[in-house]
């Protein structure tokens, strides 16, 4: 008969060996998982760093672009202010020149019209001339400089503001080059 003690020892020995095999396999699996996890962490860290670098670079480019756009808008606004000041000064210089009144008188003489609307600033300068023509004269406080000739179906706007606005529109490129080149 088989000795139970030997059988028990044999079973315990086999169980111990099996336990060692299982533990060894478990340790190998844990080591493999740790290595794979470490590799995956390194890969994810590298991807994250690359993503962040790209994101920060894109963010930087957008911010620079935004700043450039804002600066362009500021520069453009400044240029418009300078051009507007230039035209205000031009209006003052035109009003001082005797040819301005001669121009208005000539336009009035050459047009057939029903009435003349005269700016408050030019009314006293043109009053005697207009009265001699025996036409309807309207003094307008809203018009700063110049006249508006009203015909039956049209108006000829000869206010300095409208004439210079048209000049500004036509010659803006040349004005810009003169002032800012």
**Residue bearing tokens 């001699």:** 132
Domain range list for the chain: 1-96, 98-180
Position with higher pLDDT, 134 vs 174: 174
Which token pair is 7? 């059988």
Model pTM score = 0.60
Kindly report, residue by residue over 16-30, the tens digit of the pLDDT: 888 899 999 999 999
Q: What percent of the chain has pLDDT over 90?
A: 44
Angstrom distances, CA of residue 164 to CA of 42, 84, 146, 158, 159: 69, 10, 11, 10, 9
Distance CA 22, CA 42 (A): 30
Distance CA 140, CA 126 (A): 13
Paired with 157 in beta bridges are 148
Mean pLDDT of 150-178: 87
CB 79 within 8 A of CB 180: yes
Q: To 10 degrees, what angle do helices 98-110 and 4-96 make? A: 80
pLDDT on residue 86? 87
98-180 adopts what CATH topology?
A: hypothetical protein PF0899 fold (3.30.2320)
């Amino acid at each position: 008969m088989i000795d139970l003690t030997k059988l028990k020892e044999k079973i315990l020995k086999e169980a111990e060996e099996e336990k060692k095999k299982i533990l060894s396999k478990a340790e190998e699996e844990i080591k493999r998982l740790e290595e794979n996890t470490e590799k995956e962490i390194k890969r994810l860290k590298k991807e994250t760093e690359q993503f962040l670098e790209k994101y920060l670079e894109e963010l930087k480019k957008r911010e620079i672009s935004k700043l450039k756009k804002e600066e362009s808008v500021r520069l453009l606004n400044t240029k418009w202010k300078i051009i507007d000041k230039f035209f205000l000064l031009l209006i003052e210089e035109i009003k001082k020149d005797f040819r301005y009144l001669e121009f208005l008188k000539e336009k009035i003489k050459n047009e057939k019209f029903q009435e003349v609307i005269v700016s408050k600033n030019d009314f006293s300068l043109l009053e005697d001339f207009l009265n001699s023509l025996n036409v309807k004269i309207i003094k307008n406080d809203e018009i700063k400089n110049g006249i508006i000739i009203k015909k039956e179906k049209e108006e000829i706007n000869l206010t300095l503001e409208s004439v210079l606005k048209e000049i500004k529109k036509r010659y803006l490129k040349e004005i810009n080059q003169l002032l800012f080149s």
